[in-house]
Amino acid sequence: MNGRDGTDIPHTSLCRYTTDAVFYREDDLVRDLLGKATFVDVFLKQTFGYLPNAAQRRIVDAVLVTLMEHGMTPSAIAARMIYSSSPENLQAAVSAGLLAVASRFVGTMEPAAQLLERIVAAGEHAADEATRIAQDYRSRRAAVPGFGHHLHRPDDPRALALLSLAREVGTYGERCAALEELAAKVDAAAGRHITINATGAIAALLGDIGIPVALMRGFAVLSRTAGLIAHIAEEQQDPSGRFIWDLVDANMTA
């Protein structure tokens, strides 16, 4: 699109308005979407420009459900503490919790997906690339993204269920295969079994339905928002903010 001076100007294809209609891309919100399309359908079409098929829809729904709740992890604690300080601003508490969706909690599917892309790109040398990755992380005594869990041993049941679902609906592809190849090499390098965790499986599942690596963390943000709202709802009924404050104060100050 060109401006009056002939230079390119940004534009959006996501939305437009008339006096009597609102359009999401080419769909009329009232006529085409309300009561007819699911949230997942509209989200994927807005973000990626296509409607999911039945298999893709099941995968995305499973991913969002998996990521929604992680218990009293840093994101939930942050949301509860901010809400206790600012109960008039629910959105501030949610946004505080979302800041913890990062490389150690919830958002780890992104670095895991980057590793899987390397293995897929290696083609017939995929096994060698998986070995290099596993040995590199082992030599640095670093956790391989998508592997390990402090609680779920020997296997993360969420990862097993997600990979089983991918097989069931027919989306198990190159990235899921790369994940299991990498898992074998991680075990060999460690000399023991290291579980594939939920975000490792999610990286593979999303990759195999065409989700770009750079947008995968967005699924965690979307899902975690719902989980944080649930934590705030509980905080309204059974407040924990003061308890957390007192617990830290009592144990960390002299």
Residues 22 and 102 in one domain: no
Residues 224 and 206 in one domain: yes
Residues 87 and 196 in one domain: yes
For residue 3, pLDDT over 70 is answered with no
Residues 30 and 47 in one domain: no
How high does pLDDT run on average in the chain? 93
Tell me how far apart the terminal alpha carbons of the chain are, to the nearest angstrom.
64
For the segment 37-58, the average pLDDT, to the nearest whole number, is: 95
Residues 3 and 125 in one domain: no
Residues 121 and 45 in one domain: yes
Residues 157 and 80 in one domain: yes
Residues 49 and 24 in one domain: no
SS3 72: coil
Give the C-alpha separation, 176 to 132, whole Å. 18
The answer to whether 64 and 56 are in contact (CB under 8 A) is no
Tell me the β-bridge partners of 21.
18
Query: What is the tally of structural domains in the chain?
Result: 2
Q: What is the pTM of this model?
A: 0.91
Q: What's the domain range around 29? A: 1-37
Q: b/e for 105-127, b at 16 or more Cβ within 10 A? A: bbbbbbbbbebbbbbbebeeebe
Residues 57 and 85 in one domain: yes
Residues 15 and 125 in one domain: no
For residue 34, pLDDT over 80 is answered with yes
For residue 1, pLDDT over 60 is answered with no
Q: What is the pLDDT of residue 206?
A: 98
Residues 134 and 157 in one domain: yes
Q: How far is CA 79 from CA 91, 224, 252, in A?
A: 9, 11, 21
Q: What is the pLDDT of residue 4?
A: 67
Residue type at position 150: H
Residue type at position 114: Q
Q: How far is CA 71 from CA 6, 90, 103, 166, in A?
A: 54, 19, 18, 25
Tokens of 65: 């459900």
Residues 90 and 177 in one domain: yes
The pLDDT confidence band at residue 152, using thresholds 50, 70 and 90, is confident
Summarised one tens digit per residue, pLDDT across range 190-211 is: 999 999 999 999 999 999 999 9
Q: What is the pLDDT of residue 221?
A: 95
